Amino acid sequence: MLTEATTYDELYRNFRWDIPARFNIATACCDRYADGSGRLALVYVDEDGGTTLTSFDEVADASRRFANVLKADGIVSGDRVAVFLSQSLELPVAHLAAFRSAMISIPLFALFGEDALEFRLSNSAAKAIITDEAGWEKIAKIRNRLPDLKSIYIVGQSTPAGTTSFWSAIESASPEFITVDTSADDPALIIYTSGTTGNPKGALHAHRVVLGHLPNVEMCHNFLPRPGDLMWTPAIGGLINALLAFWYHGIPLVGHRARKFEPQAAMQMMAKLGIRNVFLPPTALKLMRQANVENPGVKLRSIFTGGESLGGELLGWVRESFGVDAHEVFGQTECNLVIGSNSNLFPIRPGSMGRATPGFDVRIVNDKGEELPRGQRGIIGVRQPCPCTMIEYWRNPEATHKKYAGEFLLTGDLGVQDEDGYFWYVSREDDVITTAGYRVGPSEIEHTLMKHPAVAMSAVVGIPDPIRTESIKAWIVLRPGYAPSDALAREIQEFVKIQLAAHEYPRFVQFAESLPMTATGKVLRRELRALG
């Protein structure tokens, strides 16, 4: 989408959005390259290191067949289809089948526990879900509380009662399917926020959202495509900014279902496969530096990162270790990738998020949407409309209305823009916790804690952590009859890990007689953060 330039000013000044009236993600990101040539789409690396190659032809065929499966099972345009899988071939096949059917897909992190799943599946009234055997174990426990869920497709050897084998259904389905002629503004997917102020909200995005991501992805990856490009990310949130953005350009991806991030194994895989482009969250880069990883065979062309500031020391280590700069980005679920960096276009200033992505008018504003002077702290706002912006919060018009002021979408993050146009992140308006690259809302964790029989009250905050940026700490007031102990703390931690998600459990638990409150009964989390 970008016309390559040698300076940022030229790149930004010359950019114009070109959003067609009719646009479908499946057509743009798969079918254009499924021309019978066997063009490579996915290199999947299993846990034993074996690789499986899949072409765009094969992805298109499988997703058309699965679109027919959904249709035969009574799932229709506009219905929600949840995809509860880790990196795998099945994940894009499921999403693309929904897109080509004008259904709305819902990506769900494979780490989610029962509470997190139940809320999202209930709120979206999902009609179908695609998962694996590990995911089914969680779904089975809440199945009777999900009346809208009609069809469950299982990837794996077993097919429990009431479910359908994903691949068996595909193999017996017709390969002929005419993709629905969707508008660029038709709904395509719901991505749930972290629930920073109450329950998570579902950001409903249109098919145009992929086009909205392209300027930043192209700028921060040193322009796409280039011969030999091959993309990989260990992040679980890379559906649009990694998989779909690169497939839009016909660039193959590496998929790998690792139990946890292993720095040296990551280096070996990048060298062995000749990976050229990566999205590595800051936590992954910190772990790699801590492990003192080395592999002269790694020859990256671009490193894309975001979620927290890298800082000068880590930026320097990346440059020294890989020979290229890490390019930071900023955005959020509702309107992503609005700021970014490219050291070939402008110098990187450690601590800065970069400059506005071409096509985006980003300003520092007050809560009324009025622009503030350079150097003054305020809310990071994005002038509307733009293709990356959600249609609305799913079934939540009040929250949707509050997200905007004047001509701006309010990100809820506080920042400063300097005289040269660089943006500097200051803090959050809400209490979101940034841990290991994830944005975690305290409310959802607190709701789960309250389900434990020992917990009377709880408050969750983030505390500084040199590796994760922040660790999750829970302050807990116990019910009568329970006494503080290390054993009880471990029990509560395990409870949250199972019920919610492995990355959302409190690594620190502190018992207290009471919690600091406002006059209206709200917990003063800032006081708890100050206590550490």
Q: What is the pLDDT of residues 354-406, one digit of tens each?
A: 999 999 999 999 999 999 999 998 999 999 999 999 999 999 999 999 999 99
Question: Is residue 385 in some structural domain?
Answer: no
> For the chain, what percent of residues have pLDDT higher than 90?
79
> For the chain, what percent of residues have pLDDT higher than 70?
98
Query: Residue 496, class by beta-carbon neighbours within 10 Å (0-12 exposed, 13-18 middle, 19+ buried)?
Result: buried
Q: What is the DSSP string of 16-29?
A: -----SB--HHHHH
* Interval 485-498: pLDDT, tens: 999 999 999 999 99
- Residue 383 and residue 404: Cα distance in Å, rounded? 10
- Residue 364 and residue 377: Cα distance in Å, rounded? 7
Query: Residue 240, class by beta-carbon neighbours within 10 Å (0-12 exposed, 13-18 middle, 19+ buried)?
Result: buried
- pTM, to two decimals: 0.87
Specify the pLDDT at position 520. Answer: 45
Q: Write phi, then psi, for 253 (nearest 5 degrees).
A: -120, 155
Specify the pLDDT at position 186. Answer: 98
The model's confidence at residue 408, banded by pLDDT at 50, 70 and 90, is very high
* Interval 303-358: pLDDT, tens: 999 877 788 888 999 999 999 999 999 999 999 999 999 999 999 999 899 999 99
Mean pLDDT, to the nearest integer, of 146-164? Answer: 96
Specify the pLDDT at position 484. Answer: 97
Report which of 340, 128, 89 is spatially closest to residue 223, judged by C-alpha positions: 340
* Higher local confidence (pLDDT), 520 or 223: 223
Specify the pLDDT at position 145. Answer: 97
Specify the pLDDT at position 436. Answer: 87
Mean pLDDT, to the nearest integer, of 414-418? Answer: 93
Specify the pLDDT at position 310. Answer: 81
Q: Is the pLDDT of residue 522 over 70?
A: no
Specify the pLDDT at position 41. Answer: 98
Q: Is the peptide bond before 350 cis (omega within 30 degrees of 0)?
A: no
Q: Residue 510: beta bridge partners?
A: 475
* Higher local confidence (pLDDT), 76 or 467: 76
Specify the pLDDT at position 261. Answer: 87
Question: Is residue 496 in some structural domain?
Answer: yes
Give the number of residues written for the chain. Answer: 532
- Residue 165 and residue 224: Cα distance in Å, rounded? 37
Q: Are 267 and 288 contacting, i.e. CB atoms less than 8 angstroms apart?
A: yes
The model's confidence at residue 419, banded by pLDDT at 50, 70 and 90, is very high
Q: How many other C-beta atoms lie within 10 A of the C-beta of residue 521?
A: 6
The model's confidence at residue 196, banded by pLDDT at 50, 70 and 90, is very low
Question: Is residue 173 in some structural domain?
Answer: no
Report which of 282, 239, 88, 55 is spatially closest to residue 166, judged by C-alpha positions: 88
Q: Are 253 and 41 contacting, i.e. CB atoms less than 8 angstroms apart?
A: yes
Specify the pLDDT at position 521. Answer: 53
Question: Is residue 471 in some structural domain?
Answer: yes
The model's confidence at residue 413, banded by pLDDT at 50, 70 and 90, is confident
Question: Is residue 71 in some structural domain?
Answer: no
Specify the pLDDT at position 290. Answer: 81
Give me the domain span that covers residue 474.
433-531
Token look-up 């021309």 returns: 35
Q: Is the pLDDT of residue 198 over 80?
A: no
Mean pLDDT, to the nearest integer, of 89-114? Answer: 96
- Residue 225 and residue 253: Cα distance in Å, rounded? 13
Mean pLDDT, to the nearest integer, of 125-151? Answer: 97
Specify the pLDDT at position 426. Answer: 76
- Residue 258 and residue 265: Cα distance in Å, rounded? 10
* Interval 10-55: pLDDT, tens: 999 999 999 999 999 999 999 999 999 999 999 999 988 899 999 9
- Residue 123 and residue 140: Cα distance in Å, rounded? 18
Question: Is residue 54 in some structural domain?
Answer: no
E strand or H helix that includes residue 447: helix 442-449
- Residue 287 and residue 243: Cα distance in Å, rounded? 24
Give the dihedral of Cα atoms 112, 116, 120, 121; nearest 10 deg.
80
Q: Are 200 and 118 contacting, i.e. CB atoms less than 8 angstroms apart?
A: no
Query: Residue 483, class by beta-carbon neighbours within 10 Å (0-12 exposed, 13-18 middle, 19+ buried)?
Result: exposed
* Higher local confidence (pLDDT), 258 or 153: 153
Q: Are 120 and 395 contacting, i.e. CB atoms less than 8 angstroms apart?
A: no
Report, in this order, helix, strand and coil percent for the chain, each rounded to 5.
Answer: 30, 25, 40
* CATH code of the domain in which 514 resides: 3.30.300.30
Question: Is residue 459 in some structural domain?
Answer: yes
Question: Is residue 335 in some structural domain?
Answer: no
- Residue 360 and residue 336: Cα distance in Å, rounded? 10
Angle at 331 between CA 187 and CA 245, to 5 degrees: 60
- Residue 460 and residue 188: Cα distance in Å, rounded? 33
Query: Residue 428, class by beta-carbon neighbours within 10 Å (0-12 exposed, 13-18 middle, 19+ buried)?
Result: middle
* Interval 253-304: pLDDT, tens: 999 988 788 999 999 999 999 999 999 988 788 888 888 898 899 999 999 9
For the chain, what is the domain count? 1
Q: Residue 288: beta bridge partners?
A: none
Q: Are 114 and 499 contacting, i.e. CB atoms less than 8 angstroms apart?
A: yes
182 contacts: CB under 8 Å, gap ≥ 6: 22, 23, 24, 99, 102, 188, 207
Tokens of 354: 């970069």
Mean pLDDT of the chain: 93
Using only C-alpha atoms, the chain has a radius of gyration, in whole angstroms, of 23
Mean pLDDT, to the nearest integer, of 130-143? Answer: 97
